[in-house]
Chain A
Amino acid sequence: MTQTLAPEAPVVGPVVVAPRNWKGAIVMAVVAQITLAFALTTGSVEVFFSWNDTGQPAVIPATVVDAQLICLVLAVIAELCAVAAFVFVGMRRKAPLILTFVVAFTFLIALVASVAAGSQSGNIPVVFLLTGTIGLSTAVIFGSLAGVLGERVGVTNIAIEGQLLGGAFTSAVVASVTDSLILGLVAGMVTGALLSMVLAGFSIKYLVDQVIVGVVLVALMIGLTNFFYSAALSGNSEELNFPGTLPFLPIPLLSDIPVIGPVLFDQRPTTYAMFILVPAVWFFLFKTRWGLRIRALGEHPLAADTVGINVNRWRFWTVTVAGLIAGLGGAALTLGSIGPFVREMSAGQGFIALACVILGRWNPFLAASAALLFGFSRNFRIWAGQAGSTIPPDLIAMTPYLVTLIAVAVLVGRAVAPKAVGRPYVKE
């Protein structure tokens, strides 16, 4: 109905039957059972958790454990968490988020251990799994930050996919032509911002439905980048599509810490930017006056207007800034990773980012966590293939989408979304 607070109904007396929401607990229990299933199906084989970066001298020796034992231990922990979740819900309290995280972690570790147990070497390259996860998540995290900002201010940005693609393309080309990686980064960000402006312009000024503009923009960017790729890049890749990559910048001392060092402190600048941006966007949204206004605009733009906040101008510029971030995500795909641009290299990561926004309940930290899950599963697929896992890789590839589908359908109520998302604000 209206977004106003005219009383819909009287509330008679206290809450009579506080409904318990069992969904979360049930999902946790199911995941815990799957973890248990790993334990029961995994043979009693020794697996090696190797803590060293591949190619680096061994600093600490690999930890040897029995796969079945560790799966059992993890399963027990998961079961305990699930039980705890049920207890919390039973007491009509909200189960702490940490339980969800623990269940997810135990599941993932058990999964890895059971795959390693089935492989020949029994080796679990922890650093590879973690750095790969971060590497494959980076663009999605940038995209989801852009999505969070956009939706918090009331604009659905389906075009993130196009922004990643466009950012990847221009950053590679500009860096190749100018021989400057910095200019390449800037070009990628500007591309993202320009696309945001098109999206915002069409949806705010011309009042075209945001989903429609988004979808069309994605189609357009796929067409444009493919066109230029065939028409220009593929013939002159030396000059136009050979940008090189951003250097790894190990942070002194910190990067020498085992495991954590190579994973967190020996990365490219784009990855560091991501580490900084996630908390920065959170702080911006929840602790600053600008963030307060942005959130107000996503919830009740008319109310914001009546206190003198120019709704459409704020929306336009917030989405544009979000575009800078998405464009940087695109640059991370090329300059921050493999270098040259490849046809349709975003491969749906922008859409995944959108899903992460919802899974992460419009919170930068949670959205980033969801994105990490996607990154992990993509990386896991690569590793499991190499390790000779018996699980068909196509089905592994399917899991994150399935998880998202279930999570969106089962866990995320529609109530948490900013109320005015996707609706243009029209006055006189």
Chain B
Amino acid sequence: MKLELRGITKRFGSLVANDGISITVEPGEIHALLGENGAGKSTLMNVLFGLYHADEGEILLDDQPVQFSGPGQAMTAGIGMVHQHFMLIPVFTVAENVMLGHEPSRFGIIDLDAARARVREISAKFGFDIDPDAKVEDLPVGAQQRVEIVKALSREAKVLVLDEPTAVLTPQETDELMETMRQLSDAGTSIVFITHKLREVKAVADTITVIRLGKVVGAADPSASTEELATMMVGREVELTVEKAAARLGDPALVVKDVNLFDHLGRKLLDEISFEIRAGEILVVAGVQGNGQTELTEAIMGLREKVHGSIKLSGMELSHAAVRHTLDAGVGYVPEDRKKDGLVAEFTVSENLMLDRSVSGPFTKGLNIDFAYRDQFAADAIDEFDIRTPDGETLVGRLSGGNQQKVVLARELSRDLKLLIASQPTRGVDVGSIEFIHERIVAVRDSGVPVLIISTELDEVLALADRIAVMYRGRIIDIVPAGTPREKLGQLMAGVAA
């Protein structure tokens, strides 16, 4: 089926998320939509899928204009979508998930056998090994994604949209997915492949459309060089290398030894983690998302129960310390999800700047908060960190992602640091702020503080790291020096030890 989007414009208030975007996907084509995080790709696909309504523009299927008021109509028309975050119901079985919305039934009573048969039939076609009666929550991520694909295909999808499908996959699973994509396209299914990963685009796409800041920048050929694509995507020469002098290493400051972590079901999340970071050193933990990096930072911070092993900061044992004590020991923490863990959106900028210092210290005066100090502190921080906000009394939720992150950073860097932990410090942050944040992190290192960075972006890993630890399935599979080539890192991230 041929899909054509013409002049799609979607505004959120004063912000134009999609600005007159036009693309054409030929039948059986794998069409990559390439763009930075949040360039407007997902919005576009949500418009296509009827989840959003476009303010302008039209959608054509096989040259016929169509209008979708909801996903149901989009699916009836033959569009299937595998969302970045899977739209599966964890407590339902595979068959239940696949049939939801178009259940085979008689007099309303579900025909479970028919549903199972359908799952088996489609699975067999693509060589998937899926048990229709397995509960989705028990399946590994890769299998869940296959369930999503089966779900889309069970509705006779002619156009399949895959939204950042590889974010949660290992390199092997990614390869398998690409194989499936080729199979589908050979069978005549058109595929829209949304991604910001250049290598994957080059490997699988027939056509590439690059989107930046809500607009189509242009089309590219898969044979274009990585540099060309990247420049198109970012809008200028990408320079992610950070100016930094050679590290002046001090003594080992953070020593993590034999750390194991279990969840409430007794499953192991971290497996014998051991590493050390010296004063004045940046250790970056690389890896595919979801291999235990988040859990590692949370274990160090005291946010997790059932931490076994030893975590010592300058000789002080932290493995059983409460968060309060960890913070008091001089640990600065930039959490991975700043909106969930790092900020109170309904608080003002100045309140957020004192979030973790309401018990004692300069922000307090007896039982009260020292409002004068707080306001002065906020004014200074806004100035120093170039936080774009009308004033300190503005709600932090009204700031952009980059400025929100600067609020977190300003808060965490203002303490008397003995260790800085920053998880995905530049996720969802605009390019201008990325540089600024990287520079500040390097400045912290240069002041002789050990720094632990978690990043899933290889570019960031390579830009910041003095040493790189690669995590895979809860283990640190290897720790390698800064100059390690990408290919080697890729292998490690896939669990292939040296």
Contact = CB atoms under 8 A, between A and B. Distances in A.
**Do A and B touch, yes or no (CB under 8 Å, in the complex)?**
yes
Interface of A: 1-2, 4-13, 15-19, 287-290, 292-293, 295-296, 299-300, 302-310, 427-428
A208 B92 CA distance: 30
Nearest to A298: B89
Kindly list the 3 A-B residue pairs having the minimum CB-CB distance in the complex, ordered from nearest: A308-B72, A307-B101, A4-B85
Interface in B80-126: 81, 83, 85-92, 96, 99-103, 105, 108-110
Interface string B434-464: 0000000000000000000000000000000
A290 B105 CA distance: 10
Given A6-B168, A9-B269, A10-B473, A288 B110 contact: yes
B128 interface: no
A16 B266 contact: yes
A292 B103 CA distance: 9
Given A4-B85, A7-B290, A304 B100 contact: yes
B108 A289 contact: yes
Contacts of B270: 12
B270 to A, nearest CB: 8
Interface stretch (B46-54, B191-199, B481-489): B46-54
Nearest to A300: B89
A11 B268 contact: yes
Nearest to B269: A9
B134 to A, nearest CB: 13
22 contacts: A5-B85, A5-B90, A5-B141, A6-B290, A9-B290, A10-B292, A11-B268, A13-B271, A15-B266, A16-B262, A16-B267, A18-B265, A287-B110, A288-B109, A288-B110, A292-B96, A299-B89, A300-B87, A303-B100, A306-B81, A308-B76, A309-B101
Contacts of B137: 5
A2 B109 CA distance: 32
A287 B96 CA distance: 11
B86 A4 contact: yes
Given A5-B144, A304-B89, A306-B81, 18 more contacts: A5-B88, A8-B294, A9-B269, A9-B294, A12-B268, A12-B271, A12-B292, A12-B473, A12-B474, A18-B265, A288-B110, A290-B108, A292-B103, A295-B89, A300-B89, A303-B87, A307-B75, A428-B52
Interface in B289-315: 289-292, 294-295
Contacts of B49: 306
Given A304-B100, A308-B71, A427-B51, A299 B91 contact: yes
Given A5-B86, A287-B109, A19 B266 contact: yes
> How many of chain B's residues touch chain A, expressed as a range?
35 or more
Interface of B, secondary structure class, is loop
Name which of B52, B72, B144, B268 has the most chain A CB atoms within 10 A of its CB: B268
Contacts of B56: none
B51 A428 contact: yes
Interface in B9-58: 49, 51-53
A2 to B, nearest CB: 6
A18 B96 CA distance: 28
A289 B100 CA distance: 8
Name which of B85, B100, B109, B473 has the most chain A CB atoms within 10 A of its CB: B100
Contacts of B141: 5-7
A428 B53 contact: yes
Contacts of A12: 267-271, 292, 473-475
A17 B262 contact: yes
Contacts of B151: 307
A427 B50 CA distance: 11
Interface string B311-338: 0000000000000000000000000010
B71 to A, nearest CB: 5
Contact of B71 (A10, A19, A295, A306): A306
Given A5-B144, A10-B291, A296-B100, A308 B75 contact: yes
Contacts of B87: 4, 300, 302-303, 306-307
Nearest to A303: B87
B221 interface: no
Contacts of A295: 89, 92
A17 B267 CA distance: 7
B322 to A, nearest CB: 22
